[in-house]
Chain A
Amino acid sequence: MTNTRLALSAAFAALLAAGPAMAELVIPNLSYRTGPYAPGGIPYADGFNDYFTLLNERDGGIGGERVRTIECETAYNTEKGVECYEATKGEGSLVYNPLSTGITYQLIPRATADGIPLYTPGYGRTSAANGKVFEWVFNYPANYWDAASVAIRYLLDENGGSLAGKRIALVYHNSAYGKEPIRTLQELATKHGYEFVEIAVDHPGQEQKSQWLQIRQQRPDYVLMWGWGVMNAVAIQEAANIRYPMENFIGVWWSGSENDVLPAGDGANGYKSLAMHGSGMDYPVYAALKQHVYDKGLASGDGDQIGSVLYSRGMYAALVIAEAIRKAQAIAGTAQITPAQMRDGLEQLEITEARMAELGLPDFGQSFAASCADHGGPGMGRIQQWDAAARRWNLITPFIAPDMDVLGPLIEADSMAFATENKIALRCQ
């Protein structure tokens, strides 16, 4: 199969090669445009592809090398994810960004053995933030436990610094993804004295009547949500149906896109979610995208997701990868880098506000600098609120930092358990 694939792609490359694009930077895009998680997968994949198209069209790639993205459909299914990984890794893939916590868990040991970095911004295995244990995995600028802590910090601010006696429910996707924040929220519950209620929603989350009945009975003061795909839209609709006060309902950044709130119409007004970056089209980068990508008809997918929250996130992930490639090229002194050199680039990456402004995204994301031990970044998040009448997300807070006094020991404990289980020698000593 690999030989046939190689032969076929070689034949196509020969047919289509219009420039000197023999050597290239290969970035696989494990996306999902089908199944119950497609509402999240489509915009993300489009943003990811479009940013690399922009670099190819405007700058001729990165450092003179064109970028080739290989898209592979996983349908958010781990078996297909493995198939995609195996099918693409032989093509010289530099970094994987599978947009699925389940697939990330599959790929961590495989990619580590094969020496290919994994970049999982805002998802994946949280304790991979500890670079001493996870040499090949990066999840900056923020992860799930950061998100949980930021949400609680925000609620603390709202309540004058105390959550004692409050009841906070977590509605979560019953999978590795949804369970990730539970331990953090439990720890924070002991610290801040709120009562914590877990409410699980099974895959795919189309039926949530009993969960929202439970919320109606228990009357939590706040509801947090770790949902994805159709689950988000259903939960917001159900919350509107039981007239749960929307301003007390906060989703993680994966539960805060247009596709989640639009189905509930006016009922979704006031719903809040975390955000690790801005959204909308008020950034200079869109002028360049319009000129070099959209107007040339090169937009990925149907081109109807441009500017949405998850499109912005896909673009953000692509931007970070592109910057890491630049860094890797600078370190290695060659434009055609290997996955190992890519890892070095990711590890020494620094993104400043000035650089973001230069790239056409001022006041978009947080600045961060990775290091050998720190693969997790500062982990800050903002809160955004949905305005149903104007159909837009408004950022209502500046970046809030997570409570590292609680998270630090948790990350240390979880990653060290992984290191002992897999007999990994610690790095960066």
Chain B
Amino acid sequence: MLYREAGDFKTSYAADGQTFPIAFDRRRYQAVLVLAFGVVPFLVNDYWANAVLVPFLIYAIAAIGLNILTGYCGQVSLGTGGFMAVGAYACYKLMTAFPEVSVLLHILLAGTVTALVGMLFGIPSLRIKGFYLAVATLAAQFFLVWLFNKVPWFYNHSASGQISAPERSVLGLAVTGAATAPWAKYLVCLAFAVGLAWIARNLTRGSLGRQWMAIRDMDIAAEIIGVNPLRAKLTAFAISSFYVGVAGALMFAVYLGAVEVGEAFGVNKAFLVLFMIIIGGLGSIFGSFAGAAFLVLLPVLLKNLLVDGLGWSTALAAHVELMIVGALIVFFLVVEPHGLAQLWRLAKEKLRLWPFPH
């Protein structure tokens, strides 16, 4: 009854083309933003920030990045972990080389470096497709991890090969390093996540996004109607890698503080982010958030429920947790192959008609 277009008159093209055409949706979105920026920072503690919210937001950024490439442009990538590593190591080199420059700028620059690397590895996508491209990006994953392990320059010749984020502050407030307040970590990641999601949403609705989708749906047809595949594919690789690079830089600098490439950015990470967009929904920004939430929050929730709530042994809980998450993935893919985003879309359709479905 509340969820209606009726009565919400659009009087301009801008109003007609907005992301949330239904007033209820719009207000809900605004309410979420107000809650996220205005209320949560006052409530968040170390546990919530470090174990739940910060990883969720960072994985959401990575998932949006991969979704641009795979969901919107149809180029399967298994190199996400490697590209996140590029972002992390670029951020580390910049942070240590130019300590006086703001770390927020370094994170964006790390994204730009990753975009260049992503374009380099995207060039083969002009000739190879589908599974073959997946294998080529998998090669990128292994090559990048090997590179960051092998060349000591990347980790400033530290004895252990670890990179550790030095303390940096923005406006006098620490945002990296151990002294960072939980709300500062959370707000930095939230600002990046909201800003990047907003840009991604608008990019995908614009001409660039339509070119990507045309390439995804049928590249030959797209070429015939005037889409330049070189431009479309390389922009998709560049922008996707930018997002993934920013996620990697945030993961290193803000979330973990110290990483070692094989452990933090291995092939598991590439699969994890790929699962996020498959479960969340390919070609959907909301789906990226939903997928990240599903795979980041559910294990933590299950662990707390089984170990602290039911008092199970940690080993049993860890095994059962893997089984439950696995079973839920299969369940969701069987029930709704287009992911959580499609469930959400269907729910909205039903809501519109409710309570008179005929």
Contacts and interface: CB of A to CB of B under 8 A. Distances in A.
B304 A105 contact: no
B263 interface: yes
A2 B45 contact: yes
Nearest to A75: B318
Which one of B47, B160, B162, B311 has the greatest number of beta carbons of chain A within 10 Å? B160
Interface stretch (B48-56, B112-120, B189-197): B48-56
A1 interface: yes
A73 B51 contact: no
B183 to A, nearest CB: 14
A73 B318 contact: yes
Contacts of B103: none
A183 interface: yes
Interface stretch (B214-222, B235-243, B252-260): B252-260
Contact of B314 (A31, A79, A90): A31
A18 B46 CA distance: 32
A218 interface: no
Given A34-B315, A73-B317, A78-B256, A105 B164 contact: yes
B149 A174 contact: yes
B178 interface: yes
B179 interface: yes
B14 interface: no
A132 interface: no
Contacts of B309: 8
A95 B138 CA distance: 41
B160 A101 contact: yes
Interface string B275-316: 000000000000000000000000010011001110101110
Given A175-B263, A203-B263, A86 B318 contact: no
Contacts of A83: 50-51, 300
B161 A109 contact: no
Contact of B260 (A102, A109, A110): A102
A203 B260 CA distance: 11
Contact of B46 (A89, A176, A200): A89
Contacts of A79: 55, 256, 264
A167 interface: no
A33 B307 CA distance: 14
Interface in A141-178: 174-177
Contact of A203 (B55, B167, B257, B266): B266
A353 interface: no
Given A73-B317, A83-B300, A101-B160, A174 B45 contact: no
Interface in B64-106: none
A340 interface: no
A119 B35 CA distance: 40
A344 interface: no
A216 to B, nearest CB: 22
B260 A176 contact: yes
Nearest to B299: A80
Contacts of B315: 33-34, 42, 73, 301
B319 interface: yes
B319 A422 contact: no
Interface string B156-168: 0001111010110
A179 interface: yes
Given A86-B51, A110-B178, A202-B262, A176 B161 contact: yes
B259 to A, nearest CB: 7
A125 interface: yes
A44 B259 CA distance: 25
Contacts of B263: 77-78, 102, 175, 203
B177 interface: yes
A82 interface: yes
Given A34-B315, A105-B160, A1 B257 contact: no
B162 A203 contact: no
A214 interface: no
Contacts of A183: 159
Contacts of A174: 149, 262
A179 B163 CA distance: 13
Contact of A422 (B161, B167, B304, B317): B167
Contacts of B318: 33-34, 73, 75
A1 B47 contact: yes
A106 interface: yes
Contacts of A422: 166-167
Question: Which 3 pairs from chain A and chain B are nearest by CB?
Answer: A33-B315, A109-B178, A176-B160
15 contacts: A5-B304, A12-B311, A42-B315, A78-B256, A82-B51, A82-B256, A83-B300, A86-B47, A89-B46, A106-B256, A106-B257, A109-B177, A110-B257, A113-B178, A202-B262
Given A82-B50, A202-B262, 11 more contacts: A1-B48, A34-B315, A73-B303, A102-B162, A102-B263, A109-B164, A113-B178, A179-B159, A179-B160, A180-B160, A203-B262
